[in-house]
Amino acid sequence: MKYLPQNPEIFTQNRKRFVEKMDKNSIAIFNSNDEITSNGDAIYTFKQNSDLFWLTGISQEDSMLILFPNNPDEKYREVLVLVRPNELKEKWDGHRLRTKEAIAISGIQRIVWLDSLEGLLQPWIHLSDTIYLNTNENDRKANLVPIKDYRFAAMMKERYPLHNYKRSAKVLKDLRGIKSAAEVEVLQKAMDITDNTFRHLLQFVKPGVMEYEIEAEIYHQFMKQGSTGPAYGSIIASGDNARVLHYTENNRACKDGDLILMDFGAEYRGYCADLTRTIPVNGKFGRRQKTVYNACLHLHNYAASILKPGISIVDYTEKIGDEATVIFQKIGLLKKSAIKNEDPENRAYRKYLYHGISHHLGIDVHDLGTRTEPIKAGMVFTIEPGIYIEEENMGVRIENNFWVTKTGNKDLMKNIPITVEEIEALMKK
């Protein structure tokens, strides 16, 4: 995946933050992702390792970063390793970074070609006491294939068994969770592209349109605005499909009288937006649809009011559950008896709201960051409550993205239409 270049100071500061957490006389090594075969001689579109991208801004395959702040040779204290440009390969696969280009993107002054690394790396390892290696420590990972990070770690431990080893991922989970103002500026651009696309969809959606036509329109609008494309597979779920949280078929016709839930976001220069809106296919909410939508919007606004430094995700979710219990009773979903007899481990409101309310957002849609420690200023979260009613064949979800400040939060999607009145007025046009 190729990205438009951006301010290298983002990556320079990110490396500085990581180095400050390293032990004395240690070296850290980061690898790019593998290129993965799909079928035959075809490969999946390359997606860079998020940690390497966060530290360098480099999206090219076969890349490495080496940080050795105590290297006696100052010019090798941070090194970017790239595959040497090859004329024949470039005829087939396109341009590969030259030294000046890589420096401009990453801010790293020392570039080493991959085929000459071996003679340099071994002496550096011998000078080090501790080696930081990276692995995927996303709590939801599904890594059955031994990816490059794990193969590299096994090779290093076999070759250098007497060194101390530490986990870069543990450090990065804290660092990547806190976004700098420069990172948020890029995130905001991804959200602005998503905003423009949603406004376009309000004019495009009508009875009879296919879900996949809406998905295609999203992709088209993203690319027109300089986005790399969708940050994740767009969810375009009309009618009862909206109750499937990760609905991907996107192959039904949108019917007059139904709601359609659209969960999509643009990727821009490696950073992701994540928006969800639920709108009426015919441009007008029915009475019951409006009641449920406004109940969901109330939960969204309530969550925004309590998302601030100091609260944990666990307590935050519990408080929203308390509010959902009240609201669901008001709109006729829960009876007092169900609330009175609820299981504390599976509360009554969970029948209609069965997912989390917020997750970290950044380079990854489900970005790195703690889920157990108190929320800190600088974190970026989604807020996305939903109400899913099987007996009414209805699902509603509303999602915006928020940057946590010292005293509260900033809604980075505050300009995107969200109320019943705003949506209906724009669809009427």
pLDDT in tens, 54-94: 999 999 999 999 999 999 999 999 999 999 998 888 888 88
Q: Are residues 194 and 114 in the same domain?
A: no
Q: Are residues 34 and 109 in the same domain?
A: yes
**Segments of the chain with pLDDT less than 50:** none
Domain count for the chain, please give it: 2
- pLDDT value for 89: 83
Residue 2 lies inside a defined structural domain of this protein: no
Report the C-alpha gap between 292 and 271 in whole angstroms.
32
Q: What is the CATH number of the domain that holds 107?
A: 3.40.350.10
Indicate the pTM of the whole model. Answer: 0.94
Report the C-alpha gap between 353 and 297 in whole angstroms.
13
Report the C-alpha gap between 225 and 193 in whole angstroms.
6
- pLDDT value for 285: 98
Q: Which pair of structure tokens corresponds to residue 101?
A: 């280009």
- pLDDT value for 429: 81
- pLDDT value for 36: 87
Residue 423 lies inside a defined structural domain of this protein: yes
- pLDDT value for 419: 98
The residue among 152, 174, 196 that closes a domain is 174
- pLDDT value for 143: 67
Q: What is the CATH number of the domain that holds 319?
A: 3.90.230.10
Q: Are residues 155 and 204 in the same domain?
A: no
- The answer for residues whose C-beta is within 8 angstroms of residue 283's C-beta and 6 or more apart is 206, 424, 427, 428
Residue 1 lies inside a defined structural domain of this protein: no
Q: Are residues 112 and 248 in the same domain?
A: no
Q: Are residues 326 and 419 in the same domain?
A: yes
Q: Which domain holds residue 395?
A: 181-428
Task: Quickly list DSSP for 256-291.
Answer: TT-EEEEEE-EEETTEE--EEEEEETTS---HHHHH
- pLDDT value for 3: 64
Q: Are residues 186 and 144 in the same domain?
A: no
Of 208, 134, 133, residue with least CA distance to 164: 133
pLDDT in tens, 279-333: 999 999 999 999 999 999 999 999 999 999 999 999 999 999 999 999 999 999 9
